[in-house]
Amino acid sequence: MIGDPAARQGGSSLDAAERLLAELPPAPAAWCSGLHKRYRRRTAVDDVSFTVDRGEVVGLLGPNGAGKTTVIKILLGLVRADAGDVLLLGRPAGDPRARSRVGYLPELFRYQPWLTAAEVVALHVRLAGAQVSSRERRECLGLVGLADRAGDRVGGFSKGMQQRLGLAVALVARPEFVVLDEPTSALDPVGRADVRDLLTSLKARRVAVLLNSHLIGEVERVCDRVVVLDKGRVAASGTLAELLGQSELRLRLDGVGAEAEARLAAAGGLTRDGDAYTVTLSADQDTAAVPELVADLVGLGVRVHAVEPGRISLEERLLDILRATPGDEDR
Amino acid sequence: MTARTVFTLAALTLREAARRRVLRALALLMVVLLALSGWGFSRLAGTELDGTELTSGETRLVAAQVLNLVMFGLSLIAALGTAFLSGPTLAGEIESGTALAVLARPVRRSTVLLGKWLGLVAFGSGVVVVAGLAQFLIVWGTLGYWPPQPVTGLALLAAQTTVLLTLGLLLSTVVSPMASGVMAVGLFGATWIAGMVGVVGQALGNEGVAAAGTVSRVLLPTDGLWRGAMNAFQDPIVLERLGGPALKGGFAFLSSAPLTAVYLVWVGVWIVLVLGLAALAFHRRDL
Ligand SMILES: Nc1ncnc2c1ncn2[C@@H]1O[C@H](COP(=O)(O)OP(=O)(O)OP(=O)(O)O)[C@@H](O)[C@H]1O
Ligand SMILES: [Mg+2]
């Protein structure tokens, strides 16, 4: 009823051309540019742009109210952006067919309580227009640990079981792009581990994933790239190596002269707390240069008590990014 | 694809109606009403008025009137049932988050809405037709009265239910589930009262008061359709012979004229218009 005529059903030549175009370049799983969204006076999303490439697992991080869920809903056409463009698997988001190979687990998940788990899955297969055998659907329910509850009404499910069902719904129609908004919020520790395995297997099958989670360990383990949102803006984004590139070296030294201090500073950013020295190594230097540094220090008459290489965790980095006010020094 | 989505959602809505308590509650109410009316009609058959038995004409007039009264009850139950089903079905799904997963599928919101509407229409019409037929059989069994145009009458009652649930659907795209049900029923009641006021105005020859009924029947066609249905249920010959003064007196459960074609066309336009408005409101809504 509503919508552009080009998006209508029917095998017109325009359609064929569009499909050809969609297949030529490996269009990213999701691409968005300049997204803006205001709820009355409150800006929820402010100029957000990012890309999720095919087969890539991207983590969406940020504090409560940062706009993560809103961005996800805009991508899926559930919320209308005030400005900005979205392409899903090469199609504009205004075209429902853009979502035909997309799986989604909402943050606020709820499924028809009067249906059984198997019926909910079957309904979503139908709506997706996919051909999925009943054996495959059962397998999918088994994958999320609901094999023996497939015939039970969803109304009697616990919260975690409903979230598991949501995962099955997101995965059942052979998606090429999966959007998971806090997929483990209601899961037990085993369920969380299962979700990690699921994500790894999706990655192995080159299914793109956009994962919003507050469990940073989870994100750090499975994501290729992260996008950090704060107050509706992209505060940082990049591969894990880019964001966590720096490793650091913690040393306990005494007898450090001016010359030795200069040598330490040459190795990277230096901070000192009593006899504890921390050198932040830049990405290219890595820990290969450590023996040389230690040899030089010893040569300069420094007594070396301890040398401990370490890596900044995503959590520390995230806290840095979120706590940093513009113009502030990093650490 | 679009047609399949519509039918998938229509079937889903019917399944919801069947599995939730709505259907059982409606069925129970209907059975109670039918049983009561059956008992009432059987008593009516042997009633004496001023010491003499009712003539067959009088019996038929009373039968038509009581039939209409009971049918009003039936249509009211069906309308309330579907209004309280149509509100929660959309607004409730938006509120609970059930709509998120469904609408993230490759479907248009207007298609989803159309599917739900179709399912609700099938449900409401089914209830009206089944209960209505049962009522006809009861009247026929007890008083030997069979309405002259049962099909037209039932179709008009089904249309009345459709009008109300379409309104409920529109309301549920903009307000909360409970509020939409309550508002739909409130408006339904208001037009019925306005229709009654209009009839009284007509009887008193007061143009202004009579206009109230006409205007309300155009704004929300439930009462107009109901009057058309009543007209289809009553015996025209008896009505002409005996009904004159009764009608002038502003009887609530007799109607003097069938519906005009123009009015029926307007009802069709009204439904399409309101459904289109609902689709528009639903399309623009953030979930
Ligand atoms: N329907 C709505 N109406 C009004 N404001 C909203 C609505 N949805 C979101 N917001 C506002 O938009 C901002 C971003 O919300 P959003 O749900 O996207 O946050 P989030 O990053 O997902 O947070 P969380 O980690 O808590 O899930 C918040 O300030 C919120 O108040
Ligand atoms: Mg959120």
* Residue A12 pLDDT: 67
**Residue B100 near chain A (CB below 8 Å):** yes
**Closest residue to atom 24 of ligand 1, CA basis:** A64
**Residue B106 near chain A (CB below 8 Å):** yes
CB contact under 8 Å between B15 and A114, yes or no, is: yes
CB contact under 8 Å between B15 and A108, yes or no, is: no
Residue B49 pLDDT exceeds 50? yes
Final residue in a domain of this structure, among A194, A225, A242: A242
Q: At what angle do helices B150-174 and B109-143 cross, to 10 degrees?
A: 140
pLDDT, block means (10 residues), chain A with 331 residues: 46 70 75 93 92 93 92 94 92 90 93 94 93 92 92 93 94 94 91 91 92 87 90 87 75 87 84 84 69 88 85 76 56 36
For an interface test with A, the pick among B2, B5, B105, B274 (most A C-beta atoms closer than 10 Å) comes out as B105
Q: Is A13 in the pocket of ligand 1 (CB under 6 A)?
A: no
* Residue A283 pLDDT: 59
* Residue A289 pLDDT: 77
Residue B208 pLDDT exceeds 50? yes
Q: Let me know whether A175 and A120 are in one domain.
A: yes
What confidence category does residue B263 fall into, taking pLDDT thresholds of 50, 70 and 90?
confident
Interval between CA A81 and ligand 1 midpoint (Å): 14
CATH number at residue A258: 3.30.70
CB contact under 8 Å between A114 and B104, yes or no, is: no
Look at residue A2 and tell me if it is in a domain. no
**Closest residue to atom 3 of ligand 1, CA basis:** A39
- Sign of the Cα torsion A307, A311, A317, A318 reads negative
CATH number at residue A212: 3.40.50.300
Interval between CA B177 and ligand 2 midpoint (Å): 24
A99: closest chain B residue by CA: B106
How many structural domains are present in chain A?
2
Nearest atom (ligand 1) to Cα of A107: 27
Q: Is A213 in the pocket of ligand 1 (CB under 6 A)?
A: no
Report, in angstroms and rounded to the nearest whole number, the Rg of chain A calculated over CA atoms.
Answer: 25
Q: Let me know whether A303 and A229 are in one domain.
A: no
Look at residue A285 and tell me if it is in a domain. yes
Look at residue A12 and tell me if it is in a domain. no
Q: Let me know whether A180 and A257 are in one domain.
A: no
Q: Which residues of B touch A97 (CB under 8 A)?
A: 106
Q: What is the 3-state secondary structure (H, E, C) of chain A?
A: CCCCHHHCCCCCHHHHHHHHHHHCCCCCCEEEEEEEEEECCEEEEEEEEEEECCCCEEEEECCCCCCHHHHHHHHCCCCCCCEEEEEECCEECCCHHHHCCEEEECCCCCCCCCCEHHHHHHHHHHHHCCCCCHHHHHHHHHHCCCHHHCCCEHHHCCHHHHHHHHHHHHHHCCCCEEEEECCCCCCCHHHHHHHHHHHHHHHHCCCEEEEECCCHHHHHHHCCEEEEEECCEEEEEEEHHHHCCCEEEEEEEECCCHHHHHHHHHHCEEEEECCEEEEEECCCCCHHHHHHHHHHHHHCCCEEEEEEEEECCHHHHHHHHHHCCCCCCCC
Look at residue A304 and tell me if it is in a domain. yes
**Is ipTM over 0.85?**
no
Residue B7 pLDDT exceeds 90? yes
- In the predicted model, what is the mean pLDDT of residues B17-44? 80
The gap between the terminal CA atoms of chain B, to the nearest Å, is: 23
| Average model confidence (pLDDT) across chain B | 80
Q: Is A66 in the pocket of ligand 1 (CB under 6 A)?
A: yes
Q: Let me know whether A123 and A192 are in one domain.
A: yes
Q: Which residues of B touch A114 (CB under 8 A)?
A: 15-16, 19-20
Interval between CA A73 and ligand 2 midpoint (Å): 10
Q: Let me know whether A136 and A265 are in one domain.
A: no
Mutate to test the pocket of ligand 1, among A69, A184, A322 (most ligand atoms within 8 A of CB): A69
Q: Let me know whether A40 and A114 are in one domain.
A: yes
Tens digits of per-residue pLDDT, A217-244? Answer: 888 888 999 999 998 999 888 887 777 7
Q: Let me know whether A210 and A271 are in one domain.
A: no
Is residue A112 within 8 A of residue A169, CB to CB? The reply is no
* Residue A8 pLDDT: 47
Number of the ligand closest to the Cα of A62 = 1
* Residue B76 pLDDT: 78
- In the predicted model, what is the mean pLDDT of residues B17-43? 81
* Residue B199 pLDDT: 76
Tens digits of per-residue pLDDT, B94-143? Answer: 888 899 999 999 999 999 999 999 999 998 898 888 888 888 888 888 87
Q: Let me know whether A178 and A287 are in one domain.
A: no
Interval between CA A160 and ligand 2 midpoint (Å): 17
Residue A293 burial (C-beta neighbours within 10 Å; 0-12, 13-18, 19+): buried
Q: Out of A36-50, B35-49, B238-252, which region has the weakest mean confidence (pLDDT)?
A: B238-252
Look at residue A23 and tell me if it is in a domain. no
pTM, rounded to two decimals: 0.82
* Residue B241 pLDDT: 58
**Closest residue to atom 30 of ligand 1, CA basis:** A65
Q: Let me know whether A251 and A207 are in one domain.
A: no
Look at residue A9 and tell me if it is in a domain. no
Q: Let me know whether A215 and A274 are in one domain.
A: no
* Residue B30 pLDDT: 80
* Residue A209 pLDDT: 95
Q: Let me know whether A104 and A222 are in one domain.
A: yes
Residue A94 domain boundaries: 30-242
* Residue A25 pLDDT: 64
Look at residue A229 and tell me if it is in a domain. yes
Q: Let me know whether A232 and A250 are in one domain.
A: no
* Residue B27 pLDDT: 81
